[in-house]
Structure 1
């Protein structure tokens, strides 16, 4: 008896995004999933991640393509010894409910689908957050770029998001004074009262330069930048001599077309005068050490040294709305869709 064809719900790009993505820019359709071949497996989405990098790289795909992104999925059929039925994997399967995977690196450069290790009673969704790409971004960003020392002043923008809230906690573990910048007082209460940040600056209601001078009168040793734009320039002007900047993202510019980028004060002068070093964290450069970061972050969670928060949207059909909300700062911690 022939098997009934399986159908997957899929978000396809309809129009390239201009400015903030609009619902008319995507199509939600159903398509038949072909039978898997030798070496492949079929996975059913459990959680779908919505991340800023998707907005930044959307121009690399064409209308009609599936919108890309990470997900936690359960293997429901397999012809690969590396991926047994019943296991949960993290893969770059995109915004779809059924995916065919195999043991190969994603075309963007993400690691091959990886089986989630034993994380005890912790939710599987963490494999898209503190125990996944954002967590590794924070971990390798600190260990390989920031290289913090005890007693240093550390500033992070996007402090209420998945990466910012995480790297700030690592800085506290290293004995640093941590100042988080975000766009709501609710985020500020969370990162100071729950996560232990020393100070919070609401960039929407405060003068960032004045507050930073108050909280870090001798200057900033290390700045972890998730947002770019004018705020970043303001912070760079208050770096200490031989300070370090780690560039992670520029979410303040992602909704701007290339010909309409926001203007910001020039930063060459403070960088030169204070001999500031600028580097960047591109987490895909550490795909060969992927589990190193995950295991360290897992250990910190088990030891009670690392806390997390998730903003979970229910229903696959709400993935696009969750994505847009995340781009507007509507999430605290990691933004995730529960399928």
Structure 2
């Protein structure tokens, strides 16, 4: 029986990028919508996520073990509505967040679902940012690896980004002094007026980023939440206090990993200052998603956590939004809307 759905538009990865994917690495295609088999759901995407990690999923630099196959829809997180279900526990009309790709429709098993969306009183787009992996990463990494104590100094790179914007607020709620590093005067203003930062540094306008970070952190750094690596990371590690905690959540400033970039050695600082330096990957913590999302939703409802979204309409614009993300053009969570 023919499917009643229109052709499924997809953004296809058509060539392998070196470094940051650009629009020319993608093509817009379409295919028939496949009805769900037993144990599967068919869902319609409402909003698509654009994330820095998509660089690794698209390229062949070797730092991701499962790149997107050429000719396939680009891997992406999305939120949408189940339109047909043959899977126990899922019903038509349920809203779900998960691995549904840059496309209009997705027929998949429930293994692709990260969580059911329970916060029907909040905008659905929130499930891609503050209640998605960005907010979950901020909360879980900051509290489990940062172990904040009142009065400590917290430095955050990409402070106005989709993760950093929440870390600053969570640090503030924990009684810490948050200092941000970001990439424009507009983002400095957002960091200090909306995202909980006592002070922020514009690295693009800085003649000496190490000196500027040192001036903003006169008591040193107790927690460094690093989303960039590179020169910002080098400067911050030199300012860590004894017993400091470094949370490595990203390396956005590194354009290529082949060959490996060279820089200062940090082993002596880790040893003499008794630092802990931990990597954090959100997908190691799937079991904590529902409870953490519920906690973040309560903070939003109480007016204690704010979030911004940068929404672009149209599936065909997703590749350009991804390229712009790496140029720092977004202010807030980058989302592509299909509705």
TM interval, shorter chain, is over 0.9
Partner residue of 2:64? none
In the TM superposition, what are the counterparts of 1:1-339 in structure 2 within 5 Å? Answer: 2-4=2-4, 6-58=6-58, 59=60, 60-104=67-111, 106=112, 112-120=113-121, 122-206=122-206, 207-253=208-254, 255-259=255-259, 261-339=260-338
1:227 Cα shift? 0.4
1:82 Cα shift? 1.8
Are the aligned partners of 2:159 and 2:165 in contact in 1 as well (CA < 8 Å)? yes
Are the aligned partners of 1:140 and 1:281 in contact in 2 as well (CA < 8 Å)? no
1:196-239 residue CA offsets vs partner (Å, 9 max, x unmatched)? 31000001112222222222222100100000111101100000
1:235-266 residue CA offsets vs partner (Å, 9 max, x unmatched)? 0000011111000000111x32512x543322
Are the aligned partners of 1:157 and 1:164 in contact in 2 as well (CA < 8 Å)? yes
Q: Which segment drifts farther, 132-141 or 19-28?
A: 19-28
CA RMSD of aligned residues (A): 1.5
1:193 Cα shift? 1.3
1:189 Cα shift? 0.3
Are the aligned partners of 2:119 and 2:297 in contact in 1 as well (CA < 8 Å)? no
Q: Give 3-state SS (helix, strand or coil) of 2:32's partner.
A: strand
List runs of 5+ in structure 1 lacking aligned partners: 107-111
User: Whole-Å Cα distance in 1 between the matches of residues 242 and 313 of structure 2?
Assistant: 47
User: Whole-Å Cα distance in 2 between the matches of residues 76 and 113 of structure 1?
Assistant: 17
Are the aligned partners of 1:119 and 1:298 in contact in 2 as well (CA < 8 Å)? no
User: Whole-Å Cα distance in 1 between the matches of residues 324 and 5 of structure 2?
Assistant: 34
> Stretches of 4+ moved more than 3 A in 1?
1-6
Q: TM-score, normalised by structure 1?
A: 0.93
List runs of 5+ in structure 2 lacking aligned partners: 61-66
Are the aligned partners of 2:9 and 2:104 in contact in 1 as well (CA < 8 Å)? yes
Q: TM-score, normalised by structure 2?
A: 0.93
1:10 Cα shift? 0.8
Are the aligned partners of 1:75 and 1:85 in contact in 2 as well (CA < 8 Å)? yes
